[in-house]
Structure 1
Amino acid sequence: MKYSTKLSDALHILAFLSMGASQRITSAKIAESVKTNPAYIRQLMSALKKAGLLTNTQGQANAELTRNPCEITVLDVYRAIEGTKPLLHWDIDTNPDCGVGIYVQLSIADMYQEIQQAAEQKMQVITLQDILDLYHKKLEALPPEQ
């Protein structure tokens, strides 16, 4: 099963735009960094624009963040990209005649809801600026090039 990377790709886009704020950055340039195709990047950027996290003009390399990176949370981006889609999914295709199958899955669903709430609480306090700050720390920790 392939896992969705939409959230991390959307955060990548926002970080890329934030770090290159004075430059004209194309979807092709971002796609090169994300290692994907420009159409996928434009799709994510469209969702981010609809959510009010960035502004751009179709066909032009002029995308910009609408807020300061310290005002954009991971939860903002998650909701822009995934909507209300849960992080974890329980199996709804179990044998309806098996009490274990039904009630174990319903119990799992309750636990997943708790996990979802905890994750969203944490995503609400992590900002794009936090990600950028950690990025810079990681760069500083690299050994000097010879």
Structure 2
Amino acid sequence: MSANSRMTIAIHVLTWMSLDRQNNEVATSERIAGSVNTNAVVIRRCLGDLRKSGLVQSKRGAGAGWVLAREPEDITLLEVYLAVEGGGPFGMHHTPPNADCPVGFGIRPALQVVYSELEEEIRKGLART
């Protein structure tokens, strides 16, 4: 399995938009996609998540595009994480394991404790940046 890059893409997008902001420009998904080197659809999905969380705003009409909703230094990595990751860094089985198996019976409760502790530490670290 490969690592999820949604957070990295979101940070790239917001950083790029911050630079555009300094030049008084409105970012478009196509221009951002060129920097990320991905399809503009991926960027639009990311921007949608960031908009729902109040981190970016869309502008319509002449000069349409995307702008930061707040000053860049007021946005924490925790806010970005919550906007795009949602379910946390670790997931459980997509289907329940066999409850008749000694491993399958206990794996979820055991891992949930560990994952919850790790998630809390991740959130604390991201909130500081």
Q: TM-score, normalised by structure 1?
A: 0.76
Identity in percent: 31
In 1, distance between residues paired with 2:50 and 2:37?
A: 19
In 2, distance between residues paired with 1:123 and 1:75?
A: 5
Q: 2:80 aligns with which of 77, 80, 98?
A: 77
Whether the 8 Å contact between 1:53 and 1:66 is mirrored in structure 2 is yes
Aligned to 2:128: 125
Q: 2:111 aligns with which of 105, 108, 120?
A: 108
In 2, distance between residues paired with 1:95 and 1:43?
A: 36
Q: What amino acid sits opposite 2:25 in the alignment?
A: Q
Whether the 8 Å contact between 1:27 and 1:61 is mirrored in structure 2 is no
In the comparison of the two structures, how many residue pairs are matched? Answer: 125
Determine helix, strand or coil for the equivalent of 2:25: coil
Q: 1:34 aligns with which of 18, 33, 36?
A: 36
Aligned to 1:65: 68
In 2, distance between residues paired with 1:54 and 1:116?
A: 25
Q: TM-score, normalised by structure 2?
A: 0.85
Higher mean displacement: 105-114 or 7-16: 105-114
Q: 2:88 aligns with which of 86, 89, 107?
A: 86
Aligned to 2:25: 23
In 2, distance between residues paired with 1:64 and 1:37?
A: 19
CA RMSD of aligned residues (A): 1.8
In 2, distance between residues paired with 1:102 and 1:88?
A: 19
Whether the 8 Å contact between 2:29 and 2:43 is mirrored in structure 1 is yes
